[in-house]
Structure 1
Amino acid sequence: MTAISVRNLWKEYGDQIVLEDINLEFAARSFVALVGPSGCGKTTFLRMLLSEEKATRGEILIDGKPIAPEPGADRGVVFQRYSVFPHLTVLGNVLLAAEFSQSPFTARLFGTARRAAEEEARALIAEVGLAGAEDKYPAALSGGMQQRLALAQAIMRKPRILLLDEPFGALDPGIRADIHQLMRRLWNSCEMTVVMVTHDLREAFTLATRVIAFERRRNRPEERERFGATIAKDIEVWPPRIAGQLDLFTPDRDDPVLAEGQGRDDPARRSA
């Protein structure tokens, strides 16, 4: 279980203030969506959770301890652009995540360790809906399939925190609905806390347990550098969503299962 605490956080680039006095508490296994206009610091905040950016003031704690100064296997990330290796097959991409995790110096596994990792990788590939595509290269996959692969690659390392930076923004609506179902399954089945940046409010309220809006309260041209974004809204999604309890999710009108006339209490939906 991983909880995140953000205390008196400021981020500045020279004279420009990007984030101003951010205070947040994320419960373990929550799914938090960050929304707000472009340029308000959402992605900067996500990069700070990944340790790609340093706080100017304040601190970020994970389970009560200061966040590691460098990105690590405890925090997985999926970007809008498909961050997979084009020269590796689907199986190779997912297996590489295990190799980096279990053998950080050589990134190679052998014998029993490799067979176990390959078995786990194939099971995860099937879980994300890519069974039968293990030997294909990313160039032969559609956008939705590449994003499924990116999710599998990130989750293969068993991160305690999964960070999503507008991961579904480039997908067609129908494909996005399928990926939403996949994301629900993964969040429910994996022991992880999820923080997602999105511009899509419907997506935020469809997936998240909590929606947090960043906003610059003073946004006139002469104020933009000296006043950063703060938390404008902090909304707990109702009814509550609890990891492992799929039947509490509010139905999505784009859900392919619902399109066939099945309601949220239908067994097929609960097992989706």
Structure 2
Amino acid sequence: MTETSETIEYTIECTDVLQCYPDKKGGLFTVLNDIDIRVQSGTFLSLVGPSGSGKSTFSRLILGSEPPFRGQVLINGQPVQPPDRNRGMVFQSYSLFPHLTVVENVMYGQELEEINFLSKWVRPFTYYKKKRYFKEKAMEYLDRVQLSPHADKYPFELSGGMRQRVAIAQAMIMKPDILLMDEPFGALDPDTRESLQVFLLEMHEKTKMTVLFITHDLEEALYLCSRLIVLSPFYVVDSGTTQGSKIVIDIAYPGRHPKSLDDKYTPYFNERLKMIREKGFNPDVRQHIGDFNLEHSDSWRTLSSDNGESNQTQAE
């Protein structure tokens, strides 16, 4: 590690992370293999990879909902803990309370954190004052996701895309240190999806929170990111045997962030897309472990990772 890197504070650090699960034969099935990554605070990190490459597994490790089989995961310099309010999550499905209105869903997290159950009777003036403040903030976020006219409706009265926008507002209003998003725009029509991409970048610019964004849409991933990594099982090592996915691409998107929508139509943007598809998604194009495109300034590999598959846990 260089002297410069020692002075940088990283929100996320993974060292030699290996994630395995039991298989039907009584052995172990490797999903992620020797993952090394450091992410500075405020990074918008897009994570892509072929289906089954371990993207959601990686997000669960960062969320703290499961421990690594081997290796270390640090959040703000400390070993990862179970999920808390500093790591927000927006899933593919909608995490809304059906018995609460839209605005009540958005303000629920703040109420849960700051309003004591008994305060409604013990300190009614303070209670209703806080309720009004939380509702005002919730309405601001609903306005940004174009749902303020639906504030008093219930989730079942909304379309799938509208419910997902509520879920995004619900997570972002808590202003977590890390916001993990797993295919949050997958259910949206193209116009709404693009408008929410712009919205998300605007909110990231204001909050400077660290975002881990998982998507199958490569154009979306590249447009949103300030940094992009590709997890892929398509690579080769000297031993000839590969298990699980590695980070095969780790790149920065140079220039300003957030980007203009016009960036999607530039030659540079499309050259990057072509490179990602070819080297990360094409099973016929398998890079040697020593040739991975790890050009990002924060990319790193431990010595054990440089030894190919020699130190990994093999399935029995």
**TM-score where L is the length of structure 2:** 0.71
Aligned pairs for 1:114-125 within 5 A: 114-125=131-142
1:82 is aligned, of 81, 89, 94, to 94
What are the ranges of 5 or more consecutive residues in structure 2 without an aligned counterpart? 1-8, 23-27, 121-125, 266-316
The aligned residue for residue 12 of structure 2 is: 4
- Alpha-carbon distance change, 105 to 25 in structure 1, aligned in 2, over 3 angstroms: farther
Compare 122-131 and 101-110 and name the one that shifted more: 101-110
Q: Which moved more, 1:110-119 or 1:78-87?
A: 110-119
Counterpart of 2:129 in structure 1 is: 112
Amino acid in structure 1 at the alignment position of 2:243: F
The count of residues paired between Structure 1 and Structure 2 equals 244
Matches for 1:1-272 after TM superposition, within 5 Å: 3-14=11-22, 15-68=28-81, 70-103=82-115, 110-217=127-234, 227-241=243-257, 246=258, 248-249=259-260, 251=262
Identity, in percent, stands at 39
Structure index of larger Rg: 2
Offset, 1:117: 1.6
The residue that corresponds to 2:3 in the other structure is none
Q: Distance in 1 between matches of 2:112 and 2:10?
A: 22
User: Relative to structure 1, is the Cα distance of residues 8 and 150 closer, same or farther in structure 2, using a 3 angstrom cutoff?
Assistant: same
| C-alpha displacement of 1:104 | 7.6
Q: Over aligned residue pairs, what C-alpha RMSD do you find?
A: 2.5
When normalised by structure 1's length, the TM-score is: 0.82
Letter matched to residue 238 of structure 1: P
Q: CA deviation at 1:41?
A: 0.5
Gaps of 5+ in 1: 255-272
Match of 1:269 in 2: none
Q: Conserved in 2, the CA contact under 8 Å of 1:2 and 1:27?
A: yes
Q: Kindly state the Cα deviation for residue 144 of structure 1 after the two structures are TM-superposed.
A: 2.6
Letter in 1 for 2:39: F
Higher helix content, 1 or 2: 2
Counterpart secondary structure, 2:37: strand
